[in-house]
Amino acid sequence: MKKIILTGDRPTGKLHIGHYVGSLKERVRMQNEDEYEQFYVMVADAQALTDNYDNINKVRSNISEVALDYMAVGLDPQKVTMFIQSEIPELTEFTFYYMNLVTLARLQRNPTVKAEIKQKNFDNSIPVGFLCYPISQTSDITAFNANYVPVGEDQLPMLEQAREIVRTFNHLYKTDILVEPQAVIPSNKSCLRLPGIDGKAKMSKSLGNTIYLGDEPDVLREKIKMMYTDPNHIKVSDPGNIKGNVVFTYLDAFSNEEHFKKYLPDYANLDELKAHYKRGGLGDVKIKNFLFEVLNETLTPIREKRKVLEQDKEEIMHILFKGSDKARAVASEKLKKLKSAMGINYREV
């Protein structure tokens, strides 16, 4: 089966290095492999509103920022259809019908949603729209017949929910028009859910613990200086802990042997560096300086490209509108099929 790829990001801020290793890198690889029929990348503004409905400006202003990040990392609008979720009103209609197929208890069991409710202090006043966002994500995926969805680990429960809705729908309406999607997650374990610079479980735009793709070198250096390591590793001679040490997690995600040759030739690879740290005698300043070089080398071309592209934000929006028109035509056709399958195609018979 040919791949139809769909993925997206919420315009709640600029994209960060967690997005890069968790999903963007995978997208660029898939784009360049050319093994797909269609490739959609969505700026999920409507989903972002489910917990930012009182801050429209934040969502609005970040739409072009996210699209800039897409193009800065190498997504090519000639190959990939980039669009804005709210420009496709058909998606809300999909959601309306899918809502009948999901129970409240099922939504409340979703571990990612659960964690986010806690993080956002919704307590007992959870907006219905927020709780339903996994359903709307199913609409985004199925409206385009997507079978491959490159995402970070926190999205796996959403994909599970989508597969359930697909199976329920096809079974109930005796059809096979909906396709069960499959998640594409990074093979490097450290990239599944990159922690924040504060050591918190996930780097996230909403937690303010990010390194942005466009961060200038001085900002990058400052953030690395503040980065969480091993609180018990006080003197250089102390043995250090690797587990939960953000610097090593980032090195796991980003460094390679070339980096060692170039910036830290005393060590052949990360295993040697880790062994020395564990033994004692290796200070945080040295590993942080190395991490700076590694990240700066990765981010420099992205930052430079972003600077050029941001000169013409109008063109960025034009690309998104063009993509939205193309995507809308696809979703609209699919909606007709969905309604026919359900038997609510009154004008057709």
List of residues contacting ligand ATP (CB under 6 A): 9-10, 12, 18-19, 22-23, 151-152, 154-155, 193-194, 202-206
Which one, 119 or 340, has the nearer CB to ligand ATP?
A: 119
DSSP strand E in the chain: where?
Answer: 3-9, 36-43, 81-84, 148-150, 182-184
**Structural contact between residues 330 and 78, judged by C-beta atoms closer than 8 angstroms:** no
CB of 256 to ligand ATP, least distance (A): 19
Which one, 50 or 170, has the nearer CB to ligand ATP?
A: 50
CB of 144 to ligand ATP, least distance (A): 16
Which one, 16 or 303, has the nearer CB to ligand ATP?
A: 16
**Core vs surface per residue 38-71: b (16+ CB within 10 A) or e:** bbbbbbbbbbbbbbbeeeeeebeebbbbbbbbbb
CB of 7 to ligand ATP, least distance (A): 6
Which one, 59 or 335, has the nearer CB to ligand ATP?
A: 59
Which one, 199 or 283, has the nearer CB to ligand ATP?
A: 199
- Cα 195 off chain centre by: 13
Which one, 134 or 240, has the nearer CB to ligand ATP?
A: 134
What's the rounded Cα separation, in Å, for the pair 64 and 61? 7
CB of 155 to ligand ATP, least distance (A): 4
Which one, 44 or 294, has the nearer CB to ligand ATP?
A: 44
157: CB partners within 8 A, 6+ apart: 110, 111, 112, 113, 134
Which one, 155 or 229, has the nearer CB to ligand ATP?
A: 155
DSSP SS3 for 83: strand
CB of 126 to ligand ATP, least distance (A): 16
CB of 337 to ligand ATP, least distance (A): 27
CB of 20 to ligand ATP, least distance (A): 9
What's the rounded Cα separation, in Å, for the pair 59 and 77? 22
22: CB partners within 8 A, 6+ apart: 151, 152, 153, 186, 191, 192, 193, 194
287: CB partners within 8 A, 6+ apart: 229, 247, 248, 251, 273, 277
258: CB partners within 8 A, 6+ apart: none
**Core vs surface per residue 1-24: b (16+ CB within 10 A) or e:** eebbbbbbbbbbbbbbbbbbbbbb
- Cα 2 off chain centre by: 23
CB of 120 to ligand ATP, least distance (A): 10
What's the rounded Cα separation, in Å, for the pair 329 and 346? 21
65: CB partners within 8 A, 6+ apart: 11, 13, 14, 15
Which one, 188 or 345, has the nearer CB to ligand ATP?
A: 188
CB of 242 to ligand ATP, least distance (A): 19
In the bound state, the residue with its beta carbon closest to ligand ATP is 22
DSSP SS3 for 5: strand
